[in-house]
C-alpha cells in the first residue's frame, strides 16, 4: 500500500505541475508580428508576446524536447528554435527576434532580458504564427497577411489544442502596446538669414520615432547655388554664399553609402542679404571709439569679424549681433585702439573678405573663393588674419595721403614720389642733353675761327 500511495502522490504532483504550466501558458498572447513583405531585410522580423496572466511565464530555449518552439506558414507548420530563455512577468511583453542585436538597436526601450534570438524567417505574404510549449501544446497563435501594411495584429488567440480551433477564433482583434514602424527624420540646423560672403555654421539632426539619434550615414547637401557636398556624419561645418538672394537648401539622408533612395529629406530656405555694414563714425584723441552701422533690413551677426586699425586689430566676440537700421559703438577700453590707429580702418568677415574700410574704399582686395572643406567657421581663430591683412594693405591709400617732408611744413602725397622721381629723371636727361649740345657748339665755333692763313705748309 505504501508504494501504491507513493505512486499516486507522484502522479498527482506531476499532474498538478503540468496543469499549472497549462494554466500559465494559456495566458500568453501574440499581440503583433513584424514580417518582411519585400523579402529584403529578414533581420528586422520579430514576434511580440504578452503575458496576460497573474504569474510569470518562462519560455525555455534550446533544441531539446523540453524547449519551446514557434512556427509559421500557411498552416503554421514550419517550426523555429528559440535561442534565449525568457521570463515574462505578469502584464509584461517580450520579443522573439530574427536578430536580437538589430532589434535592440532600433527599440531602445527594451532590455536584453526582454528579447530572445531565434532562427526566425517568416513567410513574406501571409501565415499563422504559433507558439508551442515544452509539452508540445499550442499556447498562442496569430494570423497575419500582406494586406496588413503596418504589420499590426489582425488576429490573435490563445489555444491549447490544434490549429483548427485557433483558426476558428482568428477574427478576434487584439491591441496591445502597438510598435510603430521605424520612421527617420532629417532636420537642417542653420540660421535662416545670412550675410553674403560670410561663413555660417550648418548642422543636422537625424532622429527616429523611437527616440534614437543617428550620427553616421550618407548625408548629401544641396545648397541651392549649384554647390553640393556629401558627408559621412552629422558633424557641423561652415558654408557661405557669394551673392545675395534666396536659396533652397536640401539635406538627403541615406542609412548607408550604397543606398539609392534617401530615408529622409529636409528643406530650408536661406535668405542671403548684402552686408550693408558701414563705419559711421570714429572718435578723437580723448575717446577713439569706432561706430558701426547696419543699414540693411535684417540683423547681422558680426561674430568673429575683425577690425584692423593701423597696426592693431580687434576680433569681435562670438554672438555679437547688430540690429537692423541700428548702430553700435566700440569703446577703446574694449578694442585697445588709440586715436593714431583710427586713420586707417579695415573690417573683414571670418572669410578674410574686406567688408568696409575707413576712409571709404581706401583698400582693395581680391575675393578668395575657398572650397567648402577649407571654409573657416565662426569657432576658428583669426590669429593668421593679421598677416593676410598686412599683405592686402600693400595698396596705395588715395584718401589718406598725409606725409611730412623732412625739414619742411609742406604736406607731400606719398603717391607723388614716383612722379617726382620721373620728373627728376627727365630733368637730369634734359640737363645732360643741354650740356652735350653746348660742348658741340663750342667745338663748331673753334672750327669756324680757323682759316687757311693760319695754316703753314711744311715741306
CB-CB contact of 170 with 25 (8 Å): no
pLDDT bucket at 75, cuts 50 / 70 / 90: low
- The owner of cell 620721373 is 422
| SS3 category, 72 | strand
C-alpha 441/C-alpha 431 separation (Å) is 15
Report the share of the chain in percent with pLDDT over 90.
Answer: 28
Query: Quick check: 135 pLDDT over 60?
Result: yes
The more confidently predicted of residues 356 and 409 is 356
Give the tens place of pLDDT for each residue, 83-117: 899 899 888 899 999 888 888 888 877 888 889 98
Mean pLDDT of all residues belonging to the chain: 74
Q: What domains, with CATH codes, occur in the chain?
A: 2-168 (2.60.40.1260), 184-273 (2.60.40.10), 277-392 (2.60.40), 406-439 (no CATH)
The more confidently predicted of residues 365 and 62 is 62
Give the tens place of pLDDT for each residue, 439-448: 555 555 545 5
DSSP string, 227-278: -EEEEEE---EEE--SS-EEEEEEEEEESSTT-SS-SEEEEEEEEEE---EE
- Residue 157's Cβ-side half-sphere holds a number of Cα atoms within 13 Å equal to 19
- The owner of cell 511580440 is 48
Amino acid at each position: 500500500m505504501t508504494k501504491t500511495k507513493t505512486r499516486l502522490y507522484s502522479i498527482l504532483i506531476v499532474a498538478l505541475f503540468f496543469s499549472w504550466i497549462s494554466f500559465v501558458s494559456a495566458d500568453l498572447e501574440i499581440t503583433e508580428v513584424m514580417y518582411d513583405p519585400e523579402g529584403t531585410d529578414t533581420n528586422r522580423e520579430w514576434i511580440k508576446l504578452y503575458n496576460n496572466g497573474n504569474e510569470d511565464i518562462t519560455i525555455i530555449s534550446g533544441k531539446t524536447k523540453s524547449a519551446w518552439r514557434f512556427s509559421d506558414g500557411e498552416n503554421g507548420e514550419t517550426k523555429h528554435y528559440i535561442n534565449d530563455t525568457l521570463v515574462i512577468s505578469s502584464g509584461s511583453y517580450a520579443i522573439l527576434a530574427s536578430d536580437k542585436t538589430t532589434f535592440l538597436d532600433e527599440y531602445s526601450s527594451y532590455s536584453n532580458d526582454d528579447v530572445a534570438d531565434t532562427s526566425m524567417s517568416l513567410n513574406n505574404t501571409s501565415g499563422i504564427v504559433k507558439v508551442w510549449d515544452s509539452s508540445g501544446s499550442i499556447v498562442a497563435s496569430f494570423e497575419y497577411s500582406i494586406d496588413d501594411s503596418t504589420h499590426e495584429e489582425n488576429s490573435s488567440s490563445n489555444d491549447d489544442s490544434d490549429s483548427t480551433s485557433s483558426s476558428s477564433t482568428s477574427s478576434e482583434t487584439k491591441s496591445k502596446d502597438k510598435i510603430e514602424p521605424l520612421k527617420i527624420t532629417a532636420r537642417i540646423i542653420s540660421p535662416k538669414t545670412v550675410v553674403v560672403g560670410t561663413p555660417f555654421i550648418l548642422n543636422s539632426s537625424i532622429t527616429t520615432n523611437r527616440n534614437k539619434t543617428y550620427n553616421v550615414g550618407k548625408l548629401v547637401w544641396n545648397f541651392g547655388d549649384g554647390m553640393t557636398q556629401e558627408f559621412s556624419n552629422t558633424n557641423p561645418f561652415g558654408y557661405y554664399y557669394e551673392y545675395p538672394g534666396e536659396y533652397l537648401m536640401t539635406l538627403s539622408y541615406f542609412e548607408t553609402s550604397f543606398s539609392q533612395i534617401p530615408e529622409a529629406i529636409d528643406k530650408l530656405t536661406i535668405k542671403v542679404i548684402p552686408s550693408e555694414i558701414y563705419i559711421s563714425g570714429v572718435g578723437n584723441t580723448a575717446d577713439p571709439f569706432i561706430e558701426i552701422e547696419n543699414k540693411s533690413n535684417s540683423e547681422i551677426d558680426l561674430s568673429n569679424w575683425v577690425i584692423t586699425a593701423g597696426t592693431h586689430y580687434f576680433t569681435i566676440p562670438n554672438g555679437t549681433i547688430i540690429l537692423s537700421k541700428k548702430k553700435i559703438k566700440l569703446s577703446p577700453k574694449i578694442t585697445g585702439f588709440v586715436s593714431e590707429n583710427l586713420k586707417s580702418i579695415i573690417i573683414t568677415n571670418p572669410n578674410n573678405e574686406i567688408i568696409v574700410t575707413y576712409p571709404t574704399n581706401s583698400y582693395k582686395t581680391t575675393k578668395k573663393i575657398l572650397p567648402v572643406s577649407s571654409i573657416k567657421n565662426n569657432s576658428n581663430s583669426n590669429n593668421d588674419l593679421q598677416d593676410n591683412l598686412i599683405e592686402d594693405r600693400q595698396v596705395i591709400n588715395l584718401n589718406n595721403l598725409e606725409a611730412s617732408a623732412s625739414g619742411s611744413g609742406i604736406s607731400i602725397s606719398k603717391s607723388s614720389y614716383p612722379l617726382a622721381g620721373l620728373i627728376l629723371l627727365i630733368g637730369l636727361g634734359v640737363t645732360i642733353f643741354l650740356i652735350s649740345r653746348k660742348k658741340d657748339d663750342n667745338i663748331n665755333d673753334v672750327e669756324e675761327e680757323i682759316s687757311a692763313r693760319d695754316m703753314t705748309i711744311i715741306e
